[in-house]
């Protein structure tokens, strides 16, 4: 008699991971809005040449509430939920299958599986992150930061540059998340050049170089406060809800 527990269908693994990410996103999205605003504040401008509307995570939350109202704290929520559904559905669902197959029994195998599943999720969810970022950055002119605009789609030739930034952010999450996150946000939000003939950045390395030269190395750590305040609750909630949904859907 075969006593081995049958694995749930793949769609259940994917759905449980996606729902877990969505549940965590409902709580963490306000800090994601603040992080995005802070990362774009003073973009390609030297210090003390631009207004600083957002000084830290808590002050930034108050600024948003005071100037734009409570709804601003959930800016970009719909595409953020789609992003979490796809990203975590693929990431956690894939990792669950790899784990069940025994490939994560060693630390090396677990790290490779985590990177590979994260890359797959980031690649598929990238379009939703693009829309989320651009919605979160739009605000009134009184507290506008960076290059804010109304377009919702990347122009031809930029999608791969944006995707590379997102993939780098996913791979580097555990060791140096914030610099790649800043670059990813700027690539997702980049406008055309002032003459309207091209994009502001030609790619990941160009964005990195211009940011450091214009704003200094510390610019790569803009938004680090809300990023880490968000990361803890979001990660804990995601994993707790993942465990709950896996039990319900099995």
Q: Is the dihedral of CA 232, 180, 35, 224 positive or negative?
A: positive
Identify the pLDDT of residue 121: 86
Identify the pLDDT of residue 241: 92
Per-residue confidence at 1, pLDDT binned at 50, 70, 90?
Answer: very low
Selection from 122, 149, 154 nearest residue 135 by Cα: 149
237/168: higher pLDDT: 237
CB 91 within 8 A of CB 58: no
Tokens read off for 28: 């963490």
List all residues 6 or more positions away from 232 whose beta carbon is below 8 Å from its beta carbon: none
CB 171 within 8 A of CB 104: no
Tell me whether residue 122 is in a domain. yes
What's the burial of 106, exposed, middle or buried (CB within 10 Å: 0-12/13-18/19+)? exposed
Tell me whether residue 151 is in a domain. yes
Given a cut of 90, is residue 157 above it in pLDDT? no
Its domain, for residue 215, covers 10-249
CB 80 within 8 A of CB 32: yes
Identify the pLDDT of residue 126: 86
Query: What is the per-residue pLDDT across 61-110, written as a single tens digit (0 to 9) for each?
Result: 999 999 999 999 999 999 999 999 999 889 888 888 888 788 878 888 88
CATH at residue 245: 1.50.40.10
Tell me whether residue 2 is in a domain. no
Ramachandran bin of 155, using left for φ above 0, alpha for ψ from -120 to 50, beta for the remaining angles? beta
The number of folded domains in the chain is: 1
CB 189 within 8 A of CB 166: no
Tell me whether residue 5 is in a domain. no
Tokens read off for 166: 């997102």
Q: Is the dihedral of CA 136, 141, 142, 144 positive or negative?
A: positive
Identify the pLDDT of residue 3: 45
Separation between Cα atoms, residue 19 and residue 12, nearest integer Å: 10
Separation between Cα atoms, residue 233 and residue 227, nearest integer Å: 11
Q: What is the secondary structure of 128-183 as a DSSP string?
A: HHHHHHHHHH---GGG--SS-----SPPTT-HHHHHHHHHHHHHTHHHHHHHHHHH
Give buried/exposed letters for 38-50 (b at 16+ CB in 10 A, else e).
bbbbbbbeeeeee
Question: How far does the chain reach from its first CA to its final CA, in angstroms?
Answer: 21
Tell me whether residue 111 is in a domain. yes
Identify the pLDDT of residue 146: 63
pTM of the model: 0.81
Question: What is the mean pLDDT of the segment spanning 183-189?
Answer: 85
CB 119 within 8 A of CB 171: yes
Tell me whether residue 1 is in a domain. no
Tell me whether residue 72 is in a domain. yes
Tell me whether residue 242 is in a domain. yes
Identify the pLDDT of residue 151: 47
């Amino acid at each position: 008699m075969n006593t081995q527990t049958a694995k749930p269908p793949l769609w259940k693994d994917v759905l449980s991971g996606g729902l877990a990410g969505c549940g965590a996103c409902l709580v963490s999205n306000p800090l994601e809005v603040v992080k995005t605003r802070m990362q774009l504040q003073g973009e390609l401008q030297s210090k003390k040449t631009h207004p600083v509307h957002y000084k830290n995570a808590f002050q930034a939350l108050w600024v948003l509430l005071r100037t734009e109202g409570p709804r601003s704290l959930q800016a970009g929520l719909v595409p953020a939920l789609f992003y979490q559904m796809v990203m975590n559905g693929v990431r956690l669902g894939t990792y669950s299958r790899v784990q069940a197959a025994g490939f994560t029994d060693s630390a090396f195998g677990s790290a490779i599986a985590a990177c590979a599943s994260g890359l797959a999720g980031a690649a598929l969810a990238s379009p939703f992150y693009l829309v989320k970022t651009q919605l979160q950055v739009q605000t009134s002119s009184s507290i506008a930061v960076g290059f804010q605009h109304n377009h919702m789609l990347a122009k031809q030739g930029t999608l791969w540059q944006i995707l590379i930034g997102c993939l780098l952010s996913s791979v580097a999450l555990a060791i140096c998340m914030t610099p790649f996150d800043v670059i990813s946000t700027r690539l997702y939000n980049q406008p055309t050049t002032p003459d309207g003939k091209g994009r502001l950045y030609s790619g990941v390395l160009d964005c990195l170089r211009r940011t450091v030269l214009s704003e200094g190395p510390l610019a790569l750590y803009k938004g680090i406060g809300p990023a880490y305040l968000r990361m803890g609750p979001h990660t804990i909630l995601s994993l707790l809800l993942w465990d709950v949904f896996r039990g319900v859907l099995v």
